[in-house]
Structure 1
Amino acid sequence: MVDLEDIVKFFNQFFAVEGFIDDQGGVYRPSQRPIQRFGLALEPWSELTAWANTHRLDALFLHRPWKLEPSQLSPDVGVVAYHLAFDERMTLGFNPRLAEVLGMSNLEILGEKAGRPIGMLGKISASSFEQYSDYVNQIFGGHDAVYPCGDEIKSVAVVGAMTDALVREAAERGANLYITGQFRQPAKLAVAQTQIGVIVVGHRRSELWGLQALSGVVRERWSELEVVDAQR
């Protein structure tokens, strides 16, 4: 039978939490309850109680747990929480699972923060901007903005940040498309001068993709668990 400590031990290894000195995550609300049904959500919301009761959850993963009220869950429902590690591992950063879905190969690190990679660069099969933008939309369920380029897309950068230096480095290393969560104005000149294409998928869309991907990771680890993710 799976318990909360089993899940935390697996997540700590999967997220490589030793690299996150001030934001390692782990048990947020302890429980000794055996786990058969495990839920995943980005954060508490008004219908959390009804959702947890409907699915008879034994434990819950939260990305942003801080607004969780004690009354929203039964007292014996345990909670684990990972914030920065989830963002960097499961959304727009050095994320091999996402790279595979995006058709990227020959991955290289692009950018670092506190010794951890914050982005990736990889090759894709040649595609027009319009074709690949549509492909990205299908993966994330939409986008916030696109800045097309005239070049055929052959190399893609996926980065959880957007600075002048990162955009220029991506272009210098051969990327002609930059995928990120939010367009940052300090990078506007670099985009114009390098003529790199940009797709801004939106931070929440990337989080929802990451949550769905994480539910798959848990299913792969424990075939006996019933896993439910709140896609909202």
Structure 2
Amino acid sequence: METTPDPSADLPVEERAAATLADLAGWLHVHLNERQTLFRVGPAGVNVLGLALEPADLPERPEVDALFLHRALRLGDRFPELGVLNAHDGFDLQLTTGPNLRLAGRLGWREVRPLFWQGKAAGLTAIPPQGEWRAFHTALREELRGEDRSWGPDDPSFVRLALTNAMNPGLLGLAHRLGVNVYLTGEMRPSAQETARSLGLGVVALGHRRTELWGLRQLARELEEAFPGLRTEVYAGGR
């Protein structure tokens, strides 16, 4: 039985694939402001990219052409046939808690402003489209797929939020002075809870791993949009 020749069969692999490993590494460098994004070289062409936070989250045999790992140092000699991409500091800063403009965009937050603490970017302040605490809290939980712990503000009739990568009395006080009444962060710090309650702030501890997984899903969406034809697989390690 005769078959129709594939005109792309004679093209180099990087021309036939949805992306090359170098393309993806360059995109991560630019869009996450990460200095070193190629952790291990591998075959150039990439049609399926697997994304995970760490090697322990990967299946025994991922059916992908290359990997992205947030924490790649423990990979060792596993999957020697695959190229591996990596982003750590830029991923944490832009895709978890902190100045996460992507999350602000996904949830339609307005009047988004950077929040600095001790000379460093610590997060942002914003106003969500929901006019009160309950509706805002519901939308946030749906987007992040849950939370660790929370309580509402003394005045639940409005929400001005801060999304930050730390929780301490000084940062809580700064947020309060900026008109914030709901404080979002990754981990609840027991030493700062009394300060938050004394200021009348609502607090949502989203969960460190949960926000990282949100960042991984968001990164997958952006890569598929940037490289038409690229397919991504997000591995959450069954958690």
- What TM-score does the superposition give when structure 1 sets the normalisation length? 0.87
Q: Which residue of 2 aligns with 1:35?
A: 46
Alpha carbons of structure 1 residues 126 and 48: separation in structure 2 relative to 1, 3 Å: closer
Larger Rg: 2
Give the corresponding residue for 2:131.
127
Q: Is the 8 A contact 1:144 1:201 kept in 2?
A: yes
Cα deviation per residue 1:156-198 (whole Å; 9 max; x = unaligned)?
1111111211111111111110111101133223202211100
The CA deviation at 1:229 is: 1.3
Give the equivalent residue in structure 1 for 2:162: 157
Among 28, 31, 42, the alignment partner of 1:14 is 31
1:120 counterpart SS class = strand
Matches within 5 A, 1:62-81: 62-70=69-77, 72-73=78-79, 75-81=80-86
Matches of 1:188 and 1:43 in 2, distance apart? 31
SS in 1 for 2:46: coil
- 2:142 counterpart residue number: 138
- Residue 185 of structure 2 is aligned with which of 180, 189, 210? 180
- How many angstroms apart in 1 are the aligned matches of 2:162 and 2:113? 9
Q: In the alignment, which residue of structure 1 is the partner of 2:11? A: none
- TM-score (norm: length of structure 2): 0.85
Instruction: Give 3-state SS (helix, strand or coil) of 1:154's partner.
Output: coil
Give the C-alpha shift of residue 103 in structure 1: 2.8
SS in 1 for 2:42: coil
| Conserved? CA contact 2:51–2:234, under 8 Å | yes
Q: CA RMSD in A?
A: 1.8
SS of equivalent residue, structure 1 residue 171 = helix
Q: 1:9 to 1:47 in 2, by over 3 A?
A: closer
Q: How many residues were matched structurally?
A: 219
**Residues 145 and 200 in structure 1, CA contact (< 8 A), matched pair in contact too:** yes
Gaps of at least 5 residues in structure 2 are 1-13
The structure where helix makes up a greater share of residues is 1
